[in-house]
């Protein structure tokens, strides 16, 4: 019965952990960027470096899935998970990039709530990755990510409503809306990661 004891390429798990670890770095840089007093040019450069490193990890996963005969779970789930993790990074990178590009100096206070949600999501995701190998303990992770996503959504909607309450000029609204939408997009992407992990766990259990 070779099906039962098939050899699997364990290093997929390491690559996914590496991918999640990039998101912890990214969310920290985001917090620095939105905080006071940092050198924004330098933070944005470090974010670009983190985004390139994340790209390379994604690329390594895709190369391996294409050249490996037996994968620890379905190929399409590996692609989906790698690509969802990559989406989180892209959205965080975009947020940092737009802050610099648009020359925004003050952000609505609630954006710090969005960034806190992102930092918590990154921490939980990096902790959840080793569970991929054993398919254990993913329930709590999944519930907590969903709770965080809801909290993030509330912040996002409050910011949007405030942007239109008359305090901001149209030009500011255009800029800030893009930035908070990137942050919200990164949170949504974390939820997609959690949903894919749940789906893999259901299939494999």
Q: Closest separation between CB of residue 185 and a copy of itself, Å? A: 14
Nearer to a copy of itself, 37 or 169 (CB): 169
Give the residue carrying structure tokens 């990661």.
Answer: 193
Q: Which of 83, 64, 66, 152 lies closest to 114, judged by CA? A: 152
Residue (24 or 62) nearer to a copy of itself, CB: 62
Name which of 63 and 147 has its Cβ closer to a copy of itself: 63
Alpha carbon of 154 to those of 63, 111, 132, 168, 174: distances in Å? Answer: 39, 11, 30, 20, 20
Q: What is the C-alpha to C-alpha distance for residues 179 and 97, in angstroms, rounded to an integer?
A: 9
- Which is closer to a copy of itself, CB of 4 or CB of 169? 169
What is the SS3 assignment for 71? coil
Tokens 């290093």 belong to 11
Q: Which residues bind a copy of itself (CB under 8 A)?
A: 62-63, 66-67, 76, 97, 101-103, 157, 160-161, 164, 169-171, 173-175, 177, 199, 202-203
CB of 1 to a copy of itself, least distance (A): 18
CB of 115 to a copy of itself, least distance (A): 21
């Amino acid at each position: 019965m070779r099906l039962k004891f098939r050899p699997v390429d364990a290093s997929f798990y390491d690559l996914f952990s590496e991918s999640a670890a990039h998101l912890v770095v990214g969310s920290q840089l985001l917090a620095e960027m939105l905080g006071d007093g940092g050198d924004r040019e330098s933070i944005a450069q470090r974010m670009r470096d983190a985004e390139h490193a994340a790209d390379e990890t994604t690329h390594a996963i895709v190369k391996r899935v294409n050249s490996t005969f037996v994968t620890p779970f379905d190929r399409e789930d590996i692609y989906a998970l790698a690509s969802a993790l990559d989406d989180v990074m892209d959205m965080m990178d975009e947020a940092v990039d737009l802050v610099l590009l648009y020359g925004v100096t003050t952000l609505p206070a609630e954006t710090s709530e969005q960034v806190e949600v992102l930092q918590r999501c990154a921490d939980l995701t990096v902790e959840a990755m080793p569970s991929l190998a054993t398919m254990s303990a993913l329930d709590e992770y999944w519930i907590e990510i969903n709770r965080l996503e809801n909290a993030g959504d509330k912040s996002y909607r409050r910011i949007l409503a405030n942007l239109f309450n008359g305090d901001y000029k149209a030009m500011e609204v255009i800029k800030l809306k893009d930035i908070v939408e990137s942050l919200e997009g990164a949170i949504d992407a974390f939820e997609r990661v959690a949903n894919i992990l749940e789906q893999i766990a259901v299939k494999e259990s």
